[in-house]
Amino acid sequence: MPGPAPLALRAGAVRSRALRYGRRGTALLRRTPFPRPTARGWTVLASGLGLTVGGLVATTSIAVSAGLLLLVLLVLGVVMALVVAAPLRATRSTARGVVQVGEVYRERITLRGTSLPIGPRTRLLVREQLDDTFASVSEAETYALVGPHEPPAVLDVEALAMHRGRTLVGPVTIRVEDPFGLLRIDRPVVPAEEIVVVPASTPLAAIDTGALAGAVSADEGRVGQGGSADDSELRPYRQGDPIRRVHWGQSARRGELHVRQTTQAQPPEAVIALDVRRESYQRLGRDDLAELSDLGGDAAFEHAVVVAASVARALSARTSRVLLVSDGAAGNTRHAGDAGSLTDVLVGLADVRLRSDARDVTEVLPDVRGRDVHGMTAVVTGHCTAEQAAELVSRTSGSSRGILATIVPPEPVVRGILDRGGWRTLVVPVTGAHAPGSVR
């Protein structure tokens, strides 16, 4: 039985290719906004309609022809704008999705035009959207030339992180105009991406090695130096992981650093409890710190978050597992850093918010997962009363050492209660404040 004729095979191949390109073109047009007229475009549209209707009423062929010519010009502008905007595609590349306050966030936007050998060449505006969390260091927009045989356009964006929290960068949009300046398309080419800005650090020279020695537990040697495959698993190294947890043999075998991550639920070796009650920071008036005399206590709380981040970094350098706890909005205890990663703790600090209905730290500490905190308990607050100090001492297990980190020096009676309970007091004032920092 003879096979299909070559002409039929060729026709089938052409039809298949046409269907494929047709579906691709339909998808491109579906996600491309329809062109919007500019001020000039609205004028041309109104003039074209007016001349056409007036010419028909007055039976003036010249007016009808002129009106139709203007309308055809608009249609050509629509076609040309869609031909340029529809095939555009772009990518965003960034080194990391977590940056620190005071650091520069960098990304690169790469824009590519049509891959067809023929097509219009045009210059368009590429713009990245940045909110108030960042202060732009470089221009976040540029004009790029796209078209056949043109290299990809590149936009390098640099922005200084100003405030902690989660923020969206983007979307990246392009603006295409037709050659006549009648129509405009604003099309997103890269979706928005979440960036986490974690708090910065403040110097903690007052914390000496002896104050943090209790943060290292007896289990650290087993987890950090080896352990067995029965109670741990390997994962790629992340920034902030203690170097002692690196599995050098597996890292050499796999070609990149891997660390041991315990799979059994183990108690944390260091806990940082952050006080998120508004009243703890509203008590700081002009007599204590002029820089923190805001009525709502927001500036004081932001400094307390920086102190908590500094303590977390100091403890993470000496222990394997650090946990952040604070009171959650739903009345539960928020835990961050269950896997022992410093990055997780810092991300948790990026999310905390000051609240008027938050519970006292003394009510949050009993809810720590594992309950057997056998290393260090660091409480970060703005103000501590004698009653709260006594409660903290009573709620700390005998195998855990404690540090009270405050923004202003506590009263002598508070220091006495903490000293008798084996706690150390750390005062970390705002730079330039009158209250000197000290540790006991």
Q: Where are the domains of the chain?
A: 1-25, 26-85, 89-198, 209-216+266-427
* Strand 172-177 relative to strand 122-128, pairing: antiparallel
Three-state DSSP class for residue 344 = helix
Q: What are the φ/ψ torsions at residue 154 (nearest 5 degrees)?
A: -125, 135
Please tell me the distance from the alpha carbon of residue 146 to that of residue 159, in angstroms, as a whole number. Answer: 26
Strand residue runs (E) in 137-177: 141-146, 153-161, 165-169, 172-177
pLDDT at position 321 is: 77
Residues lower than pLDDT 70 in the chain: 1-32, 114-119, 205-233, 239-242, 244, 261-268, 283-295, 319-320, 331, 337-340, 368-375, 396-400, 430-440
Element containing residue 184 per DSSP (H, E): strand 183-190
CB burial readout 166-195, b (16+ within 10 A) else e: ebebbbbbbebbbebebbbbebebbeeeeb
pLDDT confidence of residue 218: 35
Q: Which of 43, 28, 25 is nearest to 183 (CA)?
A: 43
Domains 89-198 and 209-216+266-427 belong to one CATH topology: no
Tokens of 155: 């936009």
What are phi and psi for residue 77, nearest 5 degrees? -60, -40
CATH number listed for the domain at residues 209-216+266-427 = 3.40.50.410
CA distance 348 to 338: 11
CA dist list (Å): 190 to 140, 146, 370: 14, 17, 43
pTM for this prediction: 0.70
pLDDT, tens digit, 9 for 90 and up, residues 342-372: 888 888 889 888 888 888 888 887 776 554 5
pLDDT of residue 199: 92
Q: Residue 269 gets which letter from DSSP? A: S
pLDDT at position 209: 43
CA distances 140 to 146, 199, 253, 282, Å, are 18, 24, 42, 39
Q: Which fold has domain 89-198?
A: Immunoglobulin-like (2.60.40)
95: tokens are 């080194």
